[in-house]
Structure 1
Amino acid sequence: MTFSWRRRRSGRGGDGKSEVFKGINQDMELTIPTHFRCPISLDLMKDPVTLSTGITYDRESIEKWIDAGNITCPVTNQVLRNFDQIPNHSIRKMIQDWCVENKSCGVERIPTPRIPITPYEVTDIRSRIVAAARVGDARKCQELVGKIKDLAKESERNRRCIVGNGIGSALADSFESFARFSVDAHVNLLKEILAAFTWTFPLDEEGISKLKSAVSLRCMVWFLKSENDLSSRQNAICVLKELISADQACVDGLMGIQDIEETLFHTVKVPICPKATKASLVIIYNMIKSSKEKSGEIALKFIRMGLIHLILEILVDGDKSVCEKALGVMDSICSLEEGRENAYENALTVPLLVKKILRVSDTATEFSISSLCKLCLGENESALVEAMQLGAFQKLLVVLQIGSGERTKEKVTELLKLMNLCRDKVDCVDASMGFKYIKRSN
């Protein structure tokens, strides 16, 4: 049995990345043998593998099937005795020959696939990396890190296998060992390991413990300060963000590093890329939050450096994700008296906070309302009146109607009560509007 298949003209439809056939005329029809097609995707197989049931599939398709939790053969419905995938070299060679025969029709020959890495091979490389680090063999260690990097580039399957078999903890151990010895002497190796961390998260507990050590943190901050190496700066800030997300205790370690506030502030002020800016804001948010629970000294440093002005600049034209994180930092700053004073001194603060309500995302709305609540509560009636003049009253009513979290509802209700008291001072608010739905405070 064969399938007749009519090729659309190149450049129409699809992204072109997964297509094997190119340059075939619109009216040309090819007949593809059924046994060359994957039973799951019905596409021409690029890497045919055979299961224990004897049925051949394209490796990518059957891996997705198994990764989804299925334990049966899609064609026979038999329970698989094992999940071994044996390369079917005969079928692959036949497919390649068929491609060559149809070269004149624009069919490209499918390249011979590389054999995927196995967990055993990853474990072996991991052990060798650890051994090289213990004896201080930087050359051997860099060679192995390069090998891991090349294998990961070959396929997504390789990358998952490498990450899933604990290569991250071995890299973390090596990073700490060579950073402890000398950053300057091993800068290239440390740079390679740092780049590898960007795709090996999440790390296991052992890897996290190595990376959050004072030695490792100082080394990453050292790279973050490297003005002429944007790639390493980006990698360093992204790894620090992942590290903090995995273990909040890392914040304390960062806060103990000299000039960390200035370094992070500079990373936001002179952006490397959107990803690095977002990572920096996440770290700053966590540091301010942790600082408030203690002396508040670091939070005040950020405020006095002009972080509020920087955040407002980001809010003017930042994308959704950046705005969410910037608003989170603003909300954290507004928890401090000096932060509120500095925020209100900037003419853009209240207008931007009101503007972001219902404009970006639910998260951004919650942060905006929380910040406004902190600015307007107390004796700062001018901030409340300004917010009302900018349409905050109407927006807050909509927030109540469409629903939000309990804490946000409480803040909205409190703001509306305060606005009710000031409604006679603002022309844009209808004084006849009722407030019967607002719960009375006990």
Structure 2
Amino acid sequence: MISNWRKRRASRRAGKTQKQPGGQLDMEVTIPTHFRCPISLELMKDPVTLSTGITYDRESIERWIESGNQTCPVTNKVLTSFEPTPNHAIRKMIQDWCVKNRSLGIERIPTPRIPVTPVEVLELLSRITDAAWRGDQSGCGELVAKIKRLGKENERNKRCIVGNGAGRVLAAAFDAFAAASFEKNVAALEKILSAMPWMLPLDSEAQSYLASPASLRCMVWFLNSGSLSGRQNAVLVLKELLSSDQKHVSLLAEIEGANQALVKLIKEPICPTATKASLVAIFQMVSPSNLSSSDRIKSGFVEMGLVSLLLDILVDSDKSLCEKALGVLDGLCSCQEAREKAYSNALTMPVLVKKILRISDLATEFSVSILWKLCKNRNPDEGSIVIEALQVGAFQKLLLLLQVGCGEGTKEKATELLKLLNLYRGKLECIDSTDFKDLKRPF
């Protein structure tokens, strides 16, 4: 079967169509059958040959094999090897054909880079391990840089590197240099840390290396004193550790300056990715579901001004950032100090009510939970917080929430809030919850 490419001449760039000598507007270019991939039927850009002798485009045949197939698509024979061999002869013929038809708009395919093999990856990782245990900072840094270059070339290389245990080896090397002296090995540690984010998620062995006291202290040092990229990479790895195992939360909490460093990334943001990662890390530390979470940890975050920072974020942020900020605020409001800060902030009620049914189901769930904690735990003789909630339209929002539906836990809290708010209805007129212009921020 032969497919045709209809290519306009180079003059199409100017918006005009030139006639060919034969008087036709378009020139039909026929692709030779042996230049086309049997799977995609497109011109092969990186021809490779299987053990059955059939040539395919690398991307197509690798997708076929990764789907679980163990046979050759053309011959249906069982493959004796899943590692295709580059067909340089066919590739050179295709490139020559492209050059010959350049005047018809055919672009020459670039010479593909030969993908890294598992053997090469394992050799590099072995050398990294040796360099780490010898304390060879320079040699280890060069090898890690090579790993990164290979991974950036294409997704296949990245999968091969990660699939052969690179995350585990780099984590062990990081721990070894950190244990020796992270102040003296900053260069190697920073290069290793820069490669870790694209190897996530890590297996349990890699996590155990990164969760060691030496590694955690080193990452906290990067959060406080590292470069911008070093701070971002460190918080991404910490987020992975805290999200994967609750015991890592208590380990990090024992590191001096860890909590302050996480808050600093929110107070002085370097990029949205780092801010979100820091919020997720803090959420793991203050979440009600976290058994190791304590009022001492929450009070520490409150003293750093985190409640006001979160409310400021909630005024105008994207969906993802709002969800994370609300999650952290919900966790903090389980302690009295955080609630007192929230009571005294003029943004609290307007912002929380506005987020109900506005961002996402998760944001609504967190917003209702925070409102419930604030109203339920108020001073019985003081109804001002409930009145403020009524003023910004909380009653109407909660009624609408029950009508459209929500989770069972959120439904119970919304119902309890409505009963509480109903005691104060009729005393005050409601105002629009989106009207923030007359509110003054306390910072």
- Alignment check: 8 A CA contact 1:169 1:203 kept: yes
Report the Cα distance in structure 1 between the residues aligned to 2:306 and 2:9, rounded to whole angstroms: 54
> Counterpart of 1:412 in structure 2: which amino acid?
A
1:314-337 deviations in whole A, cap 9, x for unaligned? Answer: 111111111110000110111111
In the alignment, what sits opposite 2:409? 407
Q: Which amino acid aligns with 2:40?
A: S
1:242 matched to 2:256? The reply is: no
SS of residue paired to 2:423 = helix
- The answer on whether the counterparts of 1:393 and 1:416 sit within 8 Å (CA) in structure 2 is yes
Distance 2:291 2:165 in 1: 36
> 3-state DSSP class of the match of 2:225?
coil
Aligned to 1:289: 287
Aligned to 1:270: 268
Q: What residue number does 1:298 align with?
A: 297
Runs of 5+ in structure 1 lacking a partner?
Answer: 13-22, 430-442
In the TM superposition, 1:410-429 aligns within 5 A as 410-428=412-430
Distance in 2, matches of 1:67 and 1:421, equals 63
Summarize the alignment of residues 190-209 of structure 1 with structure 2, pairs less than 5 Å apart. Answer: 190-209=189-208
The amino acid that maps onto 1:345 is S
- The one of 224, 229, 232 aligned to 1:231: 229
Identical counterparts, % of pairs: 62
Whether the 8 Å CA contact 2:310–2:325 is kept in 1: the answer is: yes
1:40-439 equivalent positions in 2, closer than 5 A: 40-226=39-225, 229-289=227-287, 293=292, 295-378=294-377, 379=380, 381-428=383-430
Aligned partner letter, 1:211? L
Alpha-carbon separation, structure 2, partners of 1:394 and 1:78: 67
Instruction: Give the drift of 1:76.
Output: 4.8
Call closer, same or farther: CA 1:257–1:177 in 2, change over 3 Å: same
Give me the whole-angstrom Cα distance separating, in 1, the residues matched to 2:242 and 2:407.
26
Distance 1:334 1:68 in 2: 47
Alpha-carbon distance change, 397 to 79 in structure 1, aligned in 2, over 3 angstroms: farther
Q: Are the aligned partners of 1:166 and 1:203 in contact in 2 as well (CA < 8 Å)?
A: no
Measured after TM superposition, the shift of residue 218 of structure 1 is 0.8
| Correspondence for 1:20 | none
Q: Judging changes above 3 Å, is the alpha-carbon distance between structure 1 residues 55 and 269 closer, same or farther for their aligned structure 2 residues?
A: same
Tell me the equivalent position of 1:3.
3
**CA drift at 1:53:** 4.0
* Cα offset, 1:77, TM superposition: 4.9
More divergent stretch after superposition (91-100 vs 77-86): 77-86
Amino acid at match of 2:319: K
**Can you list the C-alpha shifts for 1:366-423, whole angstroms capped at 9, x where unaligned?**
1111101111114363323322332222322332233322211211221122223333
- TM-score normalised by L of structure 1: 0.87
Equivalent position of 2:437 in the other structure:
none
In the alignment of these two chains, the number of paired residues is 417
Q: Does the aligned pair in 2 maintain the 1:292–1:299 contact within 8 Å?
A: no
Q: 2:235, 2:277 within 8 Å by CA — same for their partners in 1?
A: yes
- The CA deviation at 1:57 is 2.0
Matched with 1:36 is 35
RMSD: 2.5
**C-alpha distance 428-265 of structure 1, shift in aligned 2 (>3 A):** closer
Over 3 Å counting, the alpha-carbon distance change for 1:5 and 1:262 in structure 2 is same
**Would you say the 8 A contact 2:115–2:156 is kept in 1?**
yes
**TM-score, normalisation: structure 2:** 0.87
Which moved further from structure 2: 103-112 or 237-246?
103-112
Tell me the distance in 1 between the aligned counterparts of 2:151 and 2:291: 41
> What is the alpha-carbon distance in structure 1 between the residues aligned to residue 399 and residue 64 of structure 2?
48
In 2: Cα distance, 1:405 partner to 1:370 partner: 12
What amino acid sits opposite 1:97 in the alignment?
Answer: D
1:433 corresponds in structure 2 to none
Deviation sequence 1:251-283 (CA, Å, 0-9, x none): 112111112222221111110000000011111
**Deviations 1:9-64 (CA, angstroms, capped at 9, x unpaired):** 99x9xxxxxxxxxx997945432223322233333211112234443221112222
Structure 1 window deviating more from structure 2 (337-346 vs 255-264): it is: 255-264
- Conserved in 2, the CA contact under 8 Å of 1:24 and 1:106? no
Question: Structure 2: which 5+ runs fail to align?
Answer: 19-24, 432-443
